[in-house]
């Protein structure tokens, strides 16, 4: 597993959300088995972790930037507003979580997102849809505090060390 390269100006990018959740999970006693390379858009679970014979699969999304991050348009403004794109990303995240649950019925499934109003509103609106299949939630704040809401337990928070470049 390689070290994370973190751009503090975009704390909400997928790579930084992954890094914060990985730190949180390690501190909670989870062994990280794999982390997807979000830069290369690797397929599969973003985070795979194990603890006490349990398997946890975490699907992660960041918050959209206002400019393209890669490719020929890198640095140029995006025509789509981040809030609109975030709603699409949330729907993709839910589908990914459901597919992981079907592929790995004995695993615990979670989603992780940066804490933005558009995501917290969508989470509130889809709470029953998350709870019924047992999908857990990790929310990462700008200060890299990770809030974990287990589908069947209470919310707990843990401040993780600020991410370094």
Domain segments of the chain: what residues? 8-159
Mean pLDDT of 141-155: 70
Q: Does the pLDDT of residue 43 top 50, yes or no?
A: yes
Q: Directed axis angle between helix 117-125 and helix 82-103, to 10°?
A: 50
The whole-angstrom separation of Cα 138 and Cα 150 is 9
- Beta strand pairing call for 54-60 and 108-114: parallel
Structure tokens at 133: 């299949």
The pLDDT tens digits of the residues spanning 78-110 come to 888 999 999 999 999 999 999 999 999 999 999
In words, the CATH class of domain 8-159 is alpha beta
Q: Structure pTM?
A: 0.82
Q: How confident is the model at residue 74 (pLDDT cuts 50, 70, 90)?
A: confident
Q: How long is the chain?
A: 165
Q: Look at residue 7 and tell me whether its pLDDT is greater than 90.
A: no
- Tell how far CA 127 is from the center of its chain: 17
The mean per-residue pLDDT over the stretch 47-59 comes to 96
- Higher-confidence residue: 9 or 109? 109
> What CA–CA distance (Å, rounded) separates 146 from 133?
22
Residue 137 pLDDT exceeds 50: yes
For residue 136, the SS3 value is strand
pLDDT value of residue 4? 47
Tell me: pLDDT of 153 over 70.
no
């Amino acid at each position: 597993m390689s070290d994370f390269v973190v751009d503090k100006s975009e704390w909400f990018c997928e790579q930084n959300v992954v890094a914060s959740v990985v730190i949180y999970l390690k501190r909670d006693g989870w062994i990280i088995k794999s982390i997807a390379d979000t830069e290369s858009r690797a397929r599969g679970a973003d985070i795979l972790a194990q603890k006490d014979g349990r398997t946890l699969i975490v699907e992660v999304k960041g918050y959209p930037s206002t400019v393209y991050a890669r490719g020929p348009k890198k640095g140029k403004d995006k025509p789509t507003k981040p809030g609109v794109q975030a709603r699409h990303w949330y729907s993709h995240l839910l589908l990914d979580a459901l597919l992981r649950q079907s592929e790995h019925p004995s695993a615990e499934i979670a989603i992780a997102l940066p804490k933005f109003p558009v995501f917290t509103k969508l989470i509130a609106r889809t709470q029953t849809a998350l709870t019924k299949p047992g999908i857990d939630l990790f929310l990462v704040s700008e200060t890299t505090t990770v809030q974990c809401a287990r589908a069947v337990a209470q919310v707990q928070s843990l401040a993780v060390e600020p991410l370094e470049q």
